Chains A and B, each alone.
Chain A
Amino acid sequence: MRAALRYRRAQALAVAVLAALVTMCLVLAPLYTRALEQAMVGMTLREAAAERAGVRLASTSATDRSLAVDPAGLTALLPASIRDDFGPPIAATAVDVRKMPLLGQPGGQLLARAGQCDHVRFTAGACPTEAFDVAISTDQATAYGLAVGQSIEVGEFDELVSLPESAPRTTLRVVGVYDQVDGPYWFGDRLTGQAAKNLGYDTMLTAPASFTASLALPGGGSGGWFQPRYAVDLPLLPERVSSDDLDGLGSTVARLTEFPMGVENAGSHVAATVTVRSGLPAIADEMAVGRSQAAITVPLLMAQLGLLLVAVLWLILVAASDQRRAEVAVARLRGRGSRGARRLLVAETLPPVVLGVPVGAVLAVGAVSATRHTVLAFGDWVPPFELPVWAYAAALAALAGMVGLVLLSVQRVCREPVASLIRSVPPRPTGIRLGVLEGMLVASAAAAFLALATGPVRGPVGLVAPTLLALAVGVIASRVLPSLLAFGGRRLLRSGRPASGAALLSASRRGTTRWLVPVVTVALCITVVTTDALAVGARNRDGRAAAEVGAASVFELDSVDLAEVVTAVRAVDPGGAHLTPVVAVTPSEAGRPTTLGVVPGEFRRIALWPGVDVDALPWDRLTASPVPPLVVQGTAVSYHVQATGFRPVGSLRQAAPTALAIGLRVVRGDGRVESMSLGLIPEGGVDADQTVPLDCADGCRIAGLGIIAPPSTAPVAGTLTLSKLAVGGAAVDLGGSGAWRDVSTSDSAASAVFRGDGVTISYSNGPSSTIFVNHGSVPGVVPALTTAAARPSAQGATFAGSFVDGSPLLMRSEGGVAFAPGGPTSTALVHLDNLLAQGWTGRGSASLTAYLDSADPATVARVQQDLAAHGIAVLGVRHPEQLAQTYARSAAAWSLQLALAVGVLSLLVAGVGIIVLASTSWRARSRDYAGLRMAGATARGVGLVAHLETAPVVVASAVLGAVIGLWAAPPAIGMVPLFTTPPPTFPIDLTTAWGLCLLSGLAGLVVLTVVGAVMSRRVAARSELARLRETT
């Protein structure tokens, strides 16, 4: 046996290498999947904020403090089965307090949290250790003029009950001034932020004794705090949680979240006082999705390579059997029969296969170890190495499968009649007819591809669709190509080109051609598809990150004043060439879209629009009102009013008003909207000059003019004429009818007619107490570009958008956008000036940001400084790259990264296939070439023939494989999950990465052609005339 292996050592080596690669593929799948799972879980838990990965149990009672569960009780609620997964509990007790005498005074939180002083930095004083000693924040000390040694008299202040007279009270002594040190210890709590804006006290840290010591009660005597809040934070210990544990941990925590006191107490009063907060159930769900994706994508990717490897291994084994025909004949001649011949062949071909299995297993372990330390590592943490039982099963399956292949491969030669075996030239199948096995292979591959491409089969299994197609086409091409080569060869011979003609004819009759075609076709197809999968995955991760972040850099601004932000941004970048303000108003009601206020020209240029033809969007319709704002300034308003009186409208269910107020609606400089009375209209009418005070010393923008009726009075209708309107002595030019907009609803209306310097307003207020004609600078309907989720059923239809104060803002969709950069799924893009015109109060839910078109750190830092210099602090800066990196650290992305290895290995395997095929057929080829030499061909001519015999087959097969890959890649990749969760806004872009695909296809073509050329050259070099004497 050793002599046999030594005799064909290159072939034995090739078989061993391929067996090792097949084993590696099979073993790598479970190993990599497991490592990927562990990496995903480990990284997610380590990356997650402490409050998301940990558990916070909290308890309080608004009615009876004895119902609240103290920290020890809360800790005991955590099931023992998961207790070891968490670090030591961090107990905390807090109450809300206000400076006495409570009402109108600044308030804050009094907090005692275990170990708190180790997580703040004292700028003055020390950690509070005695009851009612407190450490205050630096901002609080500055804003409220407090220092170490001073006292604050506070009382408990319940936002809901608010009973100043009965609140427990005490005097706090300031013993320290701190700055919070950010870290996981705080579980996401911010202690500061209020005082800096003069909105109240920051959290005051105190000793636990402050919550057990007696307090003075207003009526005399003493007692405790009314409504203490208890909490226990349990930080997760990620190193204790493996991928296997996470599901159980997540479901246990989910149960705890739902029924903190146990199912038996659900709904009880006690249970209601305890709440549990944790992101673990969501993390567990996310990981489960990732695991299921990886468990399919990884094996399928490896299966493609495995398929190619098995095909190449099979052809090598068959070629090896063919090569041993003479030895089999000898064995048969000496009476060994077909069983003896089989033993002889198996004894030669099986050992390399068996040897390859452990080598492949070791290679798989090595490859996964290398991946763990590079791709899957997270900082210093490396996912643990595990050998799942599936890895052993895969190794055994590889061994069993390849032993089966060996036995099958020797079958034909061993069963062949001896008379046939002793023929010098073995019989070769000819014609384009497929064998039964090949026919079945082609049919099943084609059916599988069709089912995948058009049928209900979805998911990562789509990755194998192109390979199946390539296999089917490759097998058919291997039957067709020899005929084409023969046809071409004959034509070349006839046209007087003997070398080329002989080469093509020779290629057409070589058995190796039939094998070479499907191998090269499949390899190139895999290379192109995996390249496209990688490119499409990376492009979509980047695109999604860009769409979700919004710009190269997005500054989160610490301001609620839109006008202030716009001013600061304009000061930093006057032309808006690189920096633009963006405000996102979160809807106060479900179903309404988020309003994204932008400066259209700047936003269009600075925001990131991956995959969107931004110039095709109807930006020209996203306009602000053309009517300039009407601003008045003064402390008194004078006018002449003439009104004929008013009449009740409809049935008198309510008393008719006795007088109406002439109403003026204004937007103040700080954005507040107010309706002011300019004087009364008695029931019988009025015709008089009037002067009344006006609270517009700092300037007011007029938004409407009309009447204000007393509340709960019957609807009325009438007319009034105002003229000679002047504020602060200056006449007010109302601008005529073009500057005003009538209002009309089903039960109310107001219209204005302008004559000279006067305006006549006809009104009917309906059930509302106010009715105004609106100034044109405040758009009645705001034009918007809407995402699909925000779009009304018909373009041009109006819908209720979101305004910062929670009120609906009437909008009209002027066009659609695929997504709004930085906005959620349902977003309406509007002109920022239209939001300012409505009156921006800063109340409600809105986040103010500035988009910058650069991610250059120096530029970002400079803009940050400039914004701060203009009074706008930057809370944080987001970049798409950060988010893209997060997406890249997902099961879907990691699974796709394997495609790179699969693509490279498939080329390598095809190269090995070419080498082995050349090695096994070299004797016959060199004998043929020796014949040519005998016939007078030069060495160079023979070399040319050798090249021409291989190159057209390799090139044609490679081109075929690349074309199949390019054609089949988009539908196949469309079935592969590119993300753990699908992008909510960004539309997945499956466009073929033509450049990279063509490049990889070309690279594959060149590599395989060069390998083929080198082997041809070597075969041609051995075509001495002595070869002609060889009989085997």
Chain B
Amino acid sequence: MTQPRAIRTLGLVHIYRSEGHDVAALSGVDLSVDAGEVIGLLGPSGSGKSTLLALLGGLFRPSAGKIFVGDHELSALTPAQLDAFQARETSLMLQGAGRNLVPYLTVRENVEFAAAEARRLGAEVIGVDRGLELVGATDFADVPLRQLSQGQLQMAALAVAMAPAPGVLLADEPTSALDRVARERIVEALLRVNREQGTTVVVVTHDPEVAARLPRTVTIRDGRIGGEGRSGQEYAVVTADGFVPLPAHIREELPPGTLLRIEPSGEGYLLVPEVKGEGGQE
């Protein structure tokens, strides 16, 4: 078993520069993931979900806000501490299996390569064979990468990511460009990793079928958390500063500038539009 880590972000803002302009990828994300939980990050392209994943993996430093992974506040880590954090505590699976693998090594060698630094730092890593077995990559462990299918490569990438027995597994589109069978195997493997190792798993996905398999999903929209789904039920999320993003279908009916009256109603609240906006304000 690994040491599952909880994840918490507070007012996470990330701004990057593109073609001379500042672009806000994330505009105040508050997210909590319990240790040992499995969540999916959903959202349209450019919504900021991959950026959020990269921030959780320590690839960027946020422009503002804080990220806690286990006991670590990532912004406070020195480069060496961040290296150690990446070696032992968290594993990031990049989109595209090949980008996670050293091309001239076999799957087994890749797993060994990935575990080496964690082992050197004294972490208790999963054995190579155990890691391969965990994700179902034993059959092709010694086959050169160029002979593997896309699905096998993705399994190999997952095995590599799990090699250091991380507390958190961050997977960016692990099922993209895969057929249904391969996709199912990957999702199964991810859930097995969580189940058997207790690893906290954060998966970025576009795929509604994959999302449906996950116990919790968080939708990122326009750099904010736009909603959350639990066991098939969609929820709006109240942010730390009291904002509640409206679900997409309601936003279409309530153009920007609409004035709402909010009244308690039984166990819930009633939103009553008083003055309709004209849509000129976003």
Contacts of A422 in B (CB 8 A): 59, 94, 99
Chain A binder among B109-117, B193-201, B220-228: B109-117
Check A3–B105 contact: CB distance below 8 A: yes
Contacts of B105 in A (CB 8 A): 3
A327 and B102 in contact (CB under 8 A), knowing A335-B118, A1031-B96?
A: yes
Residues 82-103 (chain B) with a chain A CB within 8 angstroms: 83-88, 91-92, 94-96, 98-103
Pick the residue among B92, B99, B121 that contacts A326 (CB under 8 A). B99
Is there a chain A Cβ closer than 8 Å to B164's Cβ?
A: yes
Pick the residue among B86, B98, B116 that contacts A333 (CB under 8 A). B86
A336 and B99 in contact (CB under 8 A), knowing A422-B94, A1029-B177?
A: no
Residues 223-277 (chain B) with a chain A CB within 8 angstroms: none
Nearest CB in chain A: distance from B180 CB, A: 18
Contacts of A336 in B (CB 8 A): 83, 87, 117
Nearest CB in chain A: distance from B96 CB, A: 4
Is there a chain B Cβ closer than 8 Å to A4's Cβ?
A: yes
Nearest CB in chain B: distance from A993 CB, A: 50
Nearest CB in chain A: distance from B162 CB, A: 12
- Mostly, the A contact residues are helix
Is there a chain B Cβ closer than 8 Å to A858's Cβ?
A: no
Kindly state the interface size class of chain A when it binds its partner: 20 to 34
Query: Please, how many angstroms separate the alpha-carbon atoms of A1031 and B103 in the complex?
Result: 12
Query: Considering residues B57, B88, B98, B121, which has the most beta carbons from chain A within 10 angstroms of its beta carbon?
Result: B98
Check B79–A7 contact: CB distance below 8 A: no
Is there a chain B Cβ closer than 8 Å to A988's Cβ?
A: no
Pick the residue among B59, B91, B116 that contacts A419 (CB under 8 A). B59
Question: CB-CB contacts of A1-32 with B at 8 A, as 1s and 0s?
Answer: 00110111000000000000000000000000
Check A7–B59 contact: CB distance below 8 A: no
Contacts of B104 in A (CB 8 A): 3-4, 6-8
Query: Considering residues A3, A7, A330, A1031, which has the most beta carbons from chain B within 10 angstroms of its beta carbon?
Result: A330
Check A3–B94 contact: CB distance below 8 A: no
Query: Please, how many angstroms separate the alpha-carbon atoms of A326 and B117 in the complex?
Result: 18
Nearest CB in chain A: distance from B118 CB, A: 7
Is there a chain A Cβ closer than 8 Å to B42's Cβ?
A: no
Is there a chain A Cβ closer than 8 Å to B54's Cβ?
A: yes
Check A1031–B98 contact: CB distance below 8 A: yes
Contacts of A6 in B (CB 8 A): 104
Query: Please, how many angstroms separate the alpha-carbon atoms of A1030 and B92 in the complex?
Result: 20
Query: Please, how many angstroms separate the alpha-carbon atoms of A424 and B104 in the complex?
Result: 19
Contacts of A428 in B (CB 8 A): none
Is there a chain B Cβ closer than 8 Å to A983's Cβ?
A: no
Is there a chain A Cβ closer than 8 Å to B80's Cβ?
A: yes
Residues 317-362 (chain A) with a chain B CB within 8 angstroms: 326-327, 329-330, 332-337, 340
Closest to A339 in B: B83
Is there a chain B Cβ closer than 8 Å to A418's Cβ?
A: yes
A333 and B92 in contact (CB under 8 A), knowing A327-B103, A419-B54, A1031-B98?
A: yes
Is there a chain B Cβ closer than 8 Å to A1032's Cβ?
A: yes
Query: Please, how many angstroms separate the alpha-carbon atoms of A72 and B54 in the complex?
Result: 98
Query: Please, how many angstroms separate the alpha-carbon atoms of A337 and B84 in the complex?
Result: 9
Nearest CB in chain A: distance from B221 CB, A: 23
Contacts of B164 in A (CB 8 A): 334-335
Nearest CB in chain B: distance from A410 CB, A: 16
Contacts of B99 in A (CB 8 A): 326, 329-330, 422, 1031-1032
Question: CB-CB contacts of A1013-1032 with B at 8 A, as 1s and 0s?
Answer: 00000000000000001111
Pick the residue among A7, A329, A334 that contacts B113 (CB under 8 A). A334
Kindly state the interface size class of chain B when it binds its partner: 35 or more
Check A337–B79 contact: CB distance below 8 A: yes
Contacts of A8 in B (CB 8 A): 104
Pick the residue among B59, B60, B103, B117 that contacts A334 (CB under 8 A). B117
Query: Please, how many angstroms separate the alpha-carbon atoms of A1032 and B95 in the complex?
Result: 11
Contacts of B118 in A (CB 8 A): 334-335
Nearest CB in chain A: distance from B156 CB, A: 12
Pick the residue among B79, B96, B109, B121 that contacts A3 (CB under 8 A). B109
Check A333–B117 contact: CB distance below 8 A: no
Check A334–B86 contact: CB distance below 8 A: yes
Nearest CB in chain A: distance from B145 CB, A: 10
Residues 975-1032 (chain A) with a chain B CB within 8 angstroms: 1029-1032
Contacts of A327 in B (CB 8 A): 102-103
Check B86–A330 contact: CB distance below 8 A: no
Nearest CB in chain A: distance from B49 CB, A: 15
Query: Please, how many angstroms separate the alpha-carbon atoms of A333 and B84 in the complex?
Result: 10
A337 and B80 in contact (CB under 8 A), knowing A4-B104, A1029-B177?
A: yes
Check A333–B94 contact: CB distance below 8 A: yes
Check A330–B96 contact: CB distance below 8 A: no
Nearest CB in chain B: distance from A486 CB, A: 18
Check A330–B102 contact: CB distance below 8 A: yes
Query: Please, how many angstroms separate the alpha-carbon atoms of A337 and B92 in the complex?
Result: 15
Contacts of A334 in B (CB 8 A): 86-87, 91, 113-114, 116-118, 163-164
Closest to B105 in A: A3
A337 and B83 in contact (CB under 8 A), knowing A418-B59, A1029-B177?
A: yes
Closest to B172 in A: A422
Contacts of A417 in B (CB 8 A): 59
Query: Please, how many angstroms separate the alpha-carbon atoms of A1031 and B95 in the complex?
Result: 9
Contacts of A3 in B (CB 8 A): 104-105, 109
Contacts of A340 in B (CB 8 A): 83, 117
Query: Considering residues B57, B60, B109, B114, which has the most beta carbons from chain A within 10 angstroms of its beta carbon?
Result: B114
Closest to A419 in B: B59
Nearest CB in chain B: distance from A106 CB, A: 97
Query: Please, how many angstroms separate the alpha-carbon atoms of A337 and B117 in the complex?
Result: 10
A1032 and B98 in contact (CB under 8 A), knowing A4-B104, A334-B114, A335-B86?
A: yes
Query: Please, how many angstroms separate the alpha-carbon atoms of A332 and B59 in the complex?
Result: 10
Residues 52-73 (chain B) with a chain A CB within 8 angstroms: 54, 57, 59-60
Check A330–B83 contact: CB distance below 8 A: no
Pick the residue among A7, A333, A1032 that contacts B96 (CB under 8 A). A1032
Contacts of B54 in A (CB 8 A): 419
Contacts of B95 in A (CB 8 A): 1031
Closest to B16 in A: A419
* 3 tightest Cβ-Cβ pairs between the two chains A and B: A335-B87, A7-B104, A1031-B96
Extra A-B contacts (10), CB below 8 Å, given A3-B109, A7-B104, A330-B101: A7-B103, A326-B99, A329-B99, A333-B100, A334-B86, A335-B84, A337-B79, A337-B83, A1031-B96, A1031-B98
Residues of A with Cβ closer than 8 Å to B? Answer: 3-4, 6-8, 326-327, 329-330, 332-337, 340, 417-419, 422, 1029-1032
Q: List 27 A-B contacts (CB under 8 A).
A: A3-B104, A8-B104, A330-B100, A330-B114, A332-B86, A333-B86, A333-B91, A333-B94, A333-B100, A334-B86, A334-B91, A334-B113, A334-B116, A335-B88, A335-B118, A336-B117, A337-B79, A337-B80, A337-B83, A340-B117, A417-B59, A418-B59, A1030-B98, A1031-B95, A1032-B98, A1032-B99, A1032-B103
